[in-house]
Amino acid sequence: MNSIVANAKKLNSSPAKSNKVDRSAFPILDVKNLEVTYFTDAGRAVALDDVSFSLKAGEKLGIVGESGSGKSTLALAMMRMIKSPGRIESGKVIVGGDDLIELSPEEMRQARLQKISYIPQGAMNSLNPVIRIGAQMVDAVRAHMPDESKSEVYDRCINSLRSVDLPASVFKMHPHELSGGMKQRVCIAIGILLQPQVIIADEPTSALDVVTQRQVMETIDKVQKQINAAVILIGHDMGLMAQFVDKVAVMYAGRLVEVCTVREMFTDPKHPYSKALINCLPNLKNKGVFQGIPGLAPSLLRLPGGCAFNPRCESVMDICKTQRPEVATLDGGRVVTCHKFTGEA
Partner 1 sequence: MANLLELQNVSKVYSKGLIKPEQTTALQPFSLNMGEDDPTILTIAGESGSGKTTLAMLLLGFIKPTTGQIIYRGRDISTLRGAEKLEFRREVQAVFQDPFAVFNPFYTVDHLLTVPIKRFKLAKSKTEAQDKIDEALTAVGLRPEDVIGRFPHQLSGGQRQRINVARALLLKPRLLIADEPVSMVDASLRASILETLRNLQRDHGVSIIYITHDLTTAYHIANSIVVLYKGAVMEAGDVETVITSPSHPYTQLLIDSIPWPDLEQRWGKDKIFTRENDGAENGCPFYGRCAKASDSCKTLSPMFRIEKYQAASCYLYKDRPVVDLDKLSETLPV
Ligand X SMILES: Nc1ncnc2c1ncn2[C@@H]1O[C@H](COP(=O)(O)OP(=O)(O)O)[C@@H](O)[C@H]1O
Interface with ligand X by CB under 6 A: which residues? 38, 40, 45, 47, 65, 67-73, 85-86, 300
Q: Does residue 310 bind ligand SF4 (CB under 6 A)?
A: yes
- Residue 151, contacted partner among ligand X, Mg ion, partner 1, none, CB below 5-8 A by kind: none
Q: Which of 57, 184, 47 is nearest to 116 (CA)?
A: 57
* Residue 218 contact among ligand SF4, Mg ion, partner 1, none, beta carbon within 5 to 8 Å by kind: partner 1
Which span sits near ligand SF4 by CB under 6 A: 97-105, 179-187, 222-230, 313-321?
Answer: 313-321
For partner 1, which residue of 35, 66, 107, 246 counts as binding (CB under 8 A)? 66
Kindly tell me which of 227 and 293 has the beta carbon lying closer to ligand SF4.
293
Enumerate residues 6+ apart whose C-beta is below 8 A from 57.
23, 24, 28, 197, 228, 229, 230
Q: What residues does 34 pair with on adjacent strands?
A: 51
In three-state secondary structure terms, 267 is helix
| Choice from 132, 266, 324, 330 touching partner 1 (CB under 8 A) | 266
Contact code string over 238-277 relative to ligand SF4, x by CB under 6 A: ---------------------------------xx-----
* Residue 73 binds which entry of ligand X, ligand SF4, Mg ion, none, CB below 5-8 Å type-dependent: ligand X
Residue placing its CB nearer to ligand SF4 in the complex, 64 or 193: 64
Give the closest residue to 324 by CA, choosing from 335, 345, 310.
310
DSSP character string of 195-259: --SEEEEESTTTTS-HHHHHHHHHHHHHHHHHHT-EEEEEES-HHHHHHH-SEEEEEETTEEEEE
- Give dist(CA 9, CA 23) in Å, integer: 16
Positions that interact with Mg ion (CB under 5 A) = 72, 121
